[in-house]
Every structure is written in C-alpha cells, then in structure tokens.
Amino acid sequence: EIQNVEEELPTSVFEFVDEDACIPPVFIGKQSKLKFCDKPIQVDDMVLLDIPKYAGEWPQLGQVVEMLESRIKIKWYKGSMSGSWSPCTLRATGERGKRAVWTEDVSPAQIWCWGFNLTPSGHLTKRIKEKVEEYDTY
C-alpha cells in the first residue's frame, strides 16, 4: 500500500527554524582568543581593562594589587602603545607635595586580558599590542 507522505513533509524552510534560538557567531579564518591565558587572575598580573568611564584612555592597563571577594584592586598605569608604562600617581590628600599610587576596585568582567608582563624597559610586548589592536576592532 502506498502512503501519501507529502502531508508529513514541511512545506517551507521556516517550519524548521526556531526563532527563539540563539544564532552562533561565525568566524572566518583563525579564531583568536582574547584572553591571554587560561589560568586565573593572580596578584601582580598585568591586566588590560575595558571600563566605559575611561573610554578616552586606551589601552587601559593596570596591575593586580589584591583579590577581593567580588572585586579586584588594581594599580593603574600610564603610557602609550609605543612608549613605556609607569604607575599612575595622584596627590596624597593632606600631605603637601606627596603623591600616592592610584588604585581602584574593578569588576573581574572588566578585565579582558591578563597574565602578561611589560618588557624590562616598561613597554607592551608585540603580542599584547596585537591583542589590543584586535580587541579594538570588536
């Protein structure tokens, strides 16, 4: 006996589509990792951050000073992509002529690259510069 199977087949491709399903990203070429390494963030790690209130300062570079419960205390660095980096300082309140290292508590989610060091002369390595340029295109 021959059965009519046309009734069981979908009439349109849209019957297969789940509109609520998330569309996975498509990568052409080699997919790169934005995070420098897979190990957890540790004290003394150099980190690259993306904090909206400092959007005009790029790249945003710091060093982990302390791991807090849900925050990370970092020491900010100043410099440029092609120049050397040094710790940022602020005027110490109440102490004339004194300066203090600028530290700030940040969310771990604001850190996008960690676990690297500056060169002995205080510059970003070529690999980190490439990461910054790559991140900047996203």
Supply the pLDDT for residue 102: 95
For 60-112, how does the pLDDT look when each residue is reduced to its tens digit (9 = 90+)? 999 999 999 899 999 999 999 999 999 999 988 887 889 999 999 999 999 99
Largest CA-CA distance found in the chain, in angstroms, rounded:
100
- Name every residue whose Cβ is closer than 8 Å to that of residue 91 and which is 6 or more positions away in sequence: 98, 99, 100
Q: Tell me the chain's radius of gyration from C-alpha atoms.
A: 24
Residue range 15-34: mean pLDDT, rounded: 61
Supply the pLDDT for residue 25: 62
Model confidence at 20: pLDDT above 80: no
Return the closest-CA partner of residue 122 out of 68, 82, 76, 71: 82
Residue range 121-132: mean pLDDT, rounded: 93
Tokens describing residue 48: 């690259």
pTM beyond 0.85: no
